[in-house]
Chains A and B, each alone.
Chain A
Amino acid sequence: MTLSIKTKHNVLSALILLALAAGAIVYLSLQFTRMWTPDPVYEGKNPSVKEVRRLSDYNENLKGSKGDTNIYVIEGDEPGDSMLILGGVHANEPAGMLAAVYLVENLHPKAGTVYVIPYTNEAGFTCNDPLEASPMFFSIDTPTGPRQFRFGARVTNPVCQWPDPDIYVHASSGQRLAGSETRNLNRTYPGRTNGTFTEQISYGLVQLIKAEDIAVTIDLHEASPEYQTINTTVAESRAMKVATTGRFNMDWDGITMSVEQSPTTFHGLSHIELGTWTDTLALLMETSNPSQGREHGLTGSDLVIYGKDKFYARVKAAVGLKDSDYSEEYGRPIQQRVARHITAINAYAAAYTEEFANAAAAEDKLTAFTSMGLGASSYPDSDGHIIYEGRRGVIDLGELPSYDTLCTDLFDYLAIPEGQN
C-alpha cells in the first residue's frame, strides 16, 4: 500500500516544495563547502619556518586546483640533509596531519632542513567518505581556545577526479586494484605528469623529493586497531637500517615499534615507489585509530579525538586485537597517536645521522670513485650504505618534548596565537 494525498492545488504545493528543496540545497551547499577552506596553520609561531612553498611549484598542473597544498620549509641552524614529512595523505587519519602541524609550529632543527606537508592530499580533506557517517570537523581544546580541523576522506574528492574505472591499473607496474583506488594517493606513486588528478599529486611529490634531494621521507598514517601494520614502520630496503636502528632506540624509551620491509610485489605505495624512483630513504608509519575500523560504534568527533570505543574493547576480550593493550578507559587519544609519530620521526632522524654521519668523512672515497672513472653520484661505504654525493649524513631535529610530555600536553603546543582565535 502506498500513502497518497490528492490535491487540487498541486501547483501551489509544488511551489512550496520547490522552495523547501531550494532552502535545503543552500543550507547543504554552505555546510559542504566549509570543507573547501584549508585549516589555518600558524607557521608564524615558528621562526625556523623560513619559507612556505606550494606543491604546484613542483608540478604546475596543480596550480589553482584543490590538489595544491602548502609545503613548509623548516631550516636548521647548521647545514645538514633534508627530510620530508607527509601528513594527511589519507585525510581520515588525523594523527599524521596533526603531527605535521605540530612540527610546522614547533620544530627547531639543529642541522638540516625539514619539509613538512600537513595536508598532502588536500583534495581528500574537502569531503567525507560516503556511508561512514564521519564528522566533517573535530575540535581540540588549546590554552587559547578551541581549534578546529577538518576530518576528510581516505581518497581524493570525486568532484576532482571522476569517473572511477571498474579496475584501477597502476601506470608503471600494470598492477590491478579496485576502481576507487585510482583516487588513493598512496596507490598512485610515482605518478605521471599527464596522469589523473591523484597521479599529478604523486608526481609533484616525486619532483619535490628529486629537486630538494630529500634524504629521508616519512609518510604518516593511521589504521584500525585490528590492522596488522599498526605501530609499525614499513621501510623500503635501503631504509631498513635506519628503520631498525630507530626502532631499537625507541625501545629504550619504552615505545614498541615493529619494522617491516616494503613488499616488492605491491605497487603504488609511497615507501616502495619513492624508494625505487628517487634517492630518498622512504618510511611509512601507522598508529592505531579506532575511528577507522569496522568494529567501532558511533563515528563522532569524540571517537576521532579520544579513541574510546566499547565495541573494540569487546572485540579484544572475545578474540584478541592487534592493538593488544587497547582499553576502553584509556582509548587511543590523538595526543598519544601524534606523540608516537613525532617521537619516531625524531628517532629516525637520529638513526639516519648515526648510520650516515661517517659518510661525510668519506669525501675521499668519492674522489677515489670518480677518479676511477666510475663518475658515480652515489657509492657504497664500507658498511654497505649507499652514500650520495653532496649529502652530509646529518639530520638533527634539535630539542623535542618527550613522548610522555606530548601525550599529556600536545594541545598546549597547538595553541592559536593571540589575536587569531
Chain B
Amino acid sequence: MVVTIIYLAIIVFLLFFIIWNMFTEKDIMLQIDAALVIIPLVLRLLLIK
C-alpha cells in the first residue's frame, strides 16, 4: 500500500538524522537518548512491531 511505503520512508528519513545526530553529539546522555529512539523505529521499519 502506498501509505505504508510513505510511512516507511519517513522512518528511514528520521533514522538517518537520529544516527547522524548520535555521531556528532558530544553529550553522552543525548547519545543514549538517540540510541533508545532507534530501537522502536527499526522494529517498525522491519514491520516486526
Contacts and interface: CB of A to CB of B under 8 A. Distances in A.
Please classify how large the interface on chain A is, using the bins under 10, 10 to 19, 20 to 34, 35 or more: 20 to 34
Given A5-B29, A13-B28, A14-B23, A162 B35 contact: no
Nearest to B19: A18
Contact of B31 (A8, A17, A32): A17
A32 B27 contact: no
Residue in A10, A29, A32, A33 whose Cβ sees the most chain B Cβ within 10 Å: A10
Interface residues of B, number: 26
B25 A32 contact: no
Interface of A: 2-8, 10-11, 13-14, 17-18, 20-21, 24-25, 28-29, 32-33, 127, 159, 162-163
B13 to A, nearest CB: 18
21 contacts: A5-B28, A6-B26, A6-B27, A10-B23, A10-B24, A10-B26, A14-B22, A17-B31, A18-B22, A21-B35, A24-B39, A25-B39, A25-B42, A28-B43, A29-B43, A29-B46, A32-B43, A33-B48, A127-B49, A159-B48, A159-B49
B4 A162 contact: yes
Contacts of A10: 23-26, 28, 31
A364 to B, nearest CB: 56
A32 B39 contact: no
A32 B24 contact: no
Contacts of B35: 17-18, 20-21
A25 B43 contact: yes
B17 to A, nearest CB: 14
Secondary structure call for the B interface: helix
A229 B35 CA distance: 47
Nearest to A30: B48
Contacts of B14: none
Contacts of B43: 25, 28-29, 32
A14 B20 CA distance: 10
Nearest to A6: B26
Contacts of A14: 22-23, 25, 31
A254 B40 CA distance: 51
B27 A5 contact: yes
A389 to B, nearest CB: 43
B10 interface: no
B27 A4 contact: yes
Contacts of B11: none
Nearest to A27: B39
B23 to A, nearest CB: 4
A32 B43 CA distance: 10
5 closest A-B pairs (Cβ-Cβ)? A17-B35, A5-B28, A14-B23, A21-B35, A21-B38
